[in-house]
Amino acid sequence: MKYRGSCHCGAVAFEVEGEIASALACNCSICQRKGSLLWFVPREALHLLTPEDASRVYEFNTHRIKHRFCPQCGIHPYAEGTDPKGNRMAAVNIRCLEEVDLAAVPVTHYDGRSI
Ligand SMILES: [Zn+2]
């Protein structure tokens, strides 16, 4: 399945391919504030439709995750990082995808605050 995603104003838009088996709700300091529901995919599965520099990067703590957000509308559509094996990953905020029935996606609660 191919999904289209974007920030609110459309300055950051992308397509992402894969099956959304579940989403992660994390209670760490940033995820809780954003309220994002995260879906992890290989970074190659995410294809930007707008220039990469249309989004800004926010990093904190260990700077291992690039939290991408739109400087126009402030929405955080995805983040980038690497998994424990070193593979480049994207964490897509499925609230920013079109045509996803959010109520039908099983949500796993992740205690990121305790890490
Ligand atoms: Zn925007």
79 CB burial (10 A radius; 0-12, 13-18, 19+): buried
The pTM assigned to this predicted structure is 0.93
CA of 97 to the centre of ligand 1 (A): 13
**Pairwise CA distance, residues 26 & 22, whole Å:** 13
CA of 111 to the centre of ligand 1 (A): 29
Averaged pLDDT for residues 83-107: 96
CA of 109 to the centre of ligand 1 (A): 27
CA of 85 to the centre of ligand 1 (A): 32
User: What residues have a C-beta under 5 A from ligand 1, the ion?
Assistant: 7, 9, 11, 70, 72-73
C-alpha dihedral, 113 to 63 to 72 to 29, nearest 10°: 10
CA of 70 to the centre of ligand 1 (A): 5
**2-114 placed in CATH 2.170.150.70:** yes
Q: Does 94 have pLDDT greater than 80?
A: yes
The confidence score (pLDDT) of residue 63 equals 83
The confidence score (pLDDT) of residue 10 equals 98
The confidence score (pLDDT) of residue 24 equals 96
Domain boundaries, the chain: 2-114
> Tens of pLDDT along 10-47?
999 999 999 999 999 999 899 899 999 999 999 999 99
Q: Does 115 have pLDDT greater than 80?
A: no
> Tens of pLDDT along 48-81?
999 999 999 999 888 889 999 999 999 999 999 9
6 CB burial (10 A radius; 0-12, 13-18, 19+): buried
CA of 99 to the centre of ligand 1 (A): 18
